[in-house]
């Protein structure tokens, strides 16, 4: 018997980081919400009403009704699970899917017929269907779509960006089956003050998220490369960009370090998948290399300048 009742959705957010915690706080306004994390210190901090994230005030934690927990038994009554665990890379720039696998196992242990599991972590196309769903099926001993549904909905929030808060960003959703898509839409439309875009498949939604961040990486690499060449030619890159920006379709990227948790990591997920199928993704590889090397170029220039100044002082 399904325990899913549209009027009484109980949501479990798995992973309370930059993505999961703000999401849980928004969901808490509409649904009974449980926040689960394996980090004891973080859970203890949250239980004391202290926010582990700068953007979120302690009062938001104190005023919420969220049950913060690391106990499996506390999430077993949930009928919607949203997984927002990290998807880092290892020392060889290969995807480390262990947090995602372990979170899928956790949810699989408590999954019941009618439940829906939504993944928000950034992954390469195929991870949800080829890695996560088999774990859910194996652990729960249930069948996708016959017994439970799965969705993928990438998060686009940029921590610290007050102009684009989580509830004002258009959201991509996707699902393993149309019947679960309606439930997923219902969950997100509760708190979103923005549009919801239904991607035709989970793989399309996964690939779209990686493309968004890879596009930034490639564009930043281009201006970084331009900035190095202009510097060597003694041309002011800022003036070059100001002039170029006067064209209507010029993309306004600035040279600099690739910031945040995602831009320097996510392209490696697509690079990995691409190489798995025998394609060498030259543009992505060279962009990653260019952006990884840019801090060295700037560092060397600073050292050179300091040395020059040092020599001048000695004179
Ligand atoms: N931070 C961003 O700006 C951002 C933006 C969009 C998308 N994303 C993506 O969202 C995902 C989450 O990123 P984040 O920045 O919130 O990560 P984070 O490191 O801030 O938080 C992840 C949380 O998950 C917990 N966790 C790890 N393994 C777990 C498990 N097995 N079960 C339960 N909890 C577990 C960790 O303890 C941590 O508290 C990643 O895939 C990331 O690429 C991040």
CA angle 10, 99, 97 (to 5 degrees): 125
Mutation probe of ligand 1 site: the residue of 14, 16, 19, 263 with most atoms within 8 A of C-beta = 19
Structural contact between residues 154 and 206, judged by C-beta atoms closer than 8 angstroms: yes
Quote the pLDDT of residue 298.
87
Quote the pLDDT of residue 21.
97
Q: Which of 257, 261, 259, 219 is nearest to 241 (CA)?
A: 219
Quote the pLDDT of residue 314.
55
Query: What is the spatial distance between Cα 39 and Cα 121, in angstroms, rounded to a whole number?
Result: 17
Domains, the chain, ranges and CATH?
A: 6-199 (3.40.50.720), 209-314 (1.10.1040.10)
Residues 220-245 pLDDT 10s = 999 999 999 999 999 999 999 999 99
Give me the mean pLDDT over the 96-108 stretch.
Answer: 98
Q: Is 98 in the pocket of ligand 1 (CB under 6 A)?
A: no
Q: Is 159 in the pocket of ligand 1 (CB under 6 A)?
A: yes
Q: Name the residue with the closest Cα to ligand 1, atom 30.
A: 103
| Mean residue pLDDT across the chain | 94
C-beta pairs of 40-43 under 8 Å, 24+ apart in sequence: 40/70, 42/16, 43/16, 43/68, 43/69, 43/70
Quote the pLDDT of residue 260.
75
Quote the pLDDT of residue 2.
44
Q: Is 275 in the pocket of ligand 1 (CB under 6 A)?
A: no
Give me the mean pLDDT over the 66-80 stretch.
Answer: 97
Report which of residues 298 and 290 the model is more confident about: 290
Residues 265-286 pLDDT 10s = 999 999 999 999 999 999 999 9
Kindly tell me if the per-residue pLDDT of 311 is higher than 80: no
Query: What is the spatial distance between Cα 37 and Cα 44, in angstroms, rounded to a whole number?
Result: 10
**Active site amino acids:** 262
Atom of ligand 1 nearest to the CA of 122: 41
Q: What confidence tier does 3 reach under pLDDT thresholds 50, 70, 90?
A: very low
Q: Name the residue with the closest Cα to ligand 1, atom 25.
A: 15
Sheet holding 196-198, edge to edge: 67-69, 32-36, 10-14, 80-83, 116-119, 149-152, 171-175, 196-198
Residue ranges in the chain assigned as alpha helix (H):
20-27, 40-47, 58-63, 98-110, 127, 133-140, 178-191, 202-232, 237-244, 266-276, 282-314
Q: Is 106 in the pocket of ligand 1 (CB under 6 A)?
A: yes
Q: Is 256 in the pocket of ligand 1 (CB under 6 A)?
A: no
Quote the pLDDT of residue 313.
56
If you count them, how many residues does the chain have?
315
Q: What confidence tier does 259 reach under pLDDT thresholds 50, 70, 90?
A: confident
Percent of the chain with pLDDT over 70: 96
Report which of residues 309 and 5 the model is more confident about: 309
Give me the mean pLDDT over the 126-131 stretch.
Answer: 98
Give me the mean pLDDT over the 8-12 stretch.
Answer: 92
């Amino acid at each position: 018997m399904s325990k899913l009742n549209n009027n009484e959705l109980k949501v479990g957010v798995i992973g309370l980081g930059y993505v999961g915690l703000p999401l849980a706080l928004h969901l808490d306004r509409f649904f009974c919400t449980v926040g689960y994390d394996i980090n004891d210190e973080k859970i203890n901090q949250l239980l004391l009403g202290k926010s582990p994230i700068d953007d979120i005030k302690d009062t938001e934690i104190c005023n919420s009704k969220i049950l913060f927990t690391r106990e499996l038994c506390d999430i077993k009554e949930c009928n919607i699970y949203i997984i927002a665990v990290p998807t880092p890379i290892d020392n060889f720039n290969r995807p480390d899917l262990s947090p995602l696998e372990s979170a899928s196992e956790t949810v699989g242990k408590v999954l019941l017929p009618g439940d829906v599991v939504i993944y928000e972590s950034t992954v390469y196309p195929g991870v949800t269907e080829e890695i996560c769903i088999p774990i859910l099926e194996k652990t729960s001993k249930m069948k996708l779509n016959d017994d439970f549904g799965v969705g993928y909905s990438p998060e686009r929030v940029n921590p610290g960006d007050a102009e684009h808060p989580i509830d004002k960003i258009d959201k991509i959703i996707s699902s393993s089956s149309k019947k679960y898509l309606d439930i997923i839409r219902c969950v997100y439309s509760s708190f979103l003050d923005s549009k919801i875009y239904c991607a035709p498949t989970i793989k399309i939604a996964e690939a779209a998220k990686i493309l968004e961040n890879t596009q930034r990486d490639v564009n930043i690499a281009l201006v970084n490369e331009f900035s190095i060449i202009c510097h060597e030619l003694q041309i002011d890159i800022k003036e070059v960009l100001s002039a170029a920006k006067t064209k209507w379709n010029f993309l306004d990227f600035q040279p600099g370090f690739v910031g945040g948790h995602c831009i320097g990591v996510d392209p490696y997920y697509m690079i990995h998948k691409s190489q798995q199928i025998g394609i060498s993704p030259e543009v992505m590889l060279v962009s990653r290399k260019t952006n990884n090397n840019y801090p060295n170029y700037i560092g060397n220039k600073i050292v050179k300048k300091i040395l020059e100044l040092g020599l001048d002082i000695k004179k």
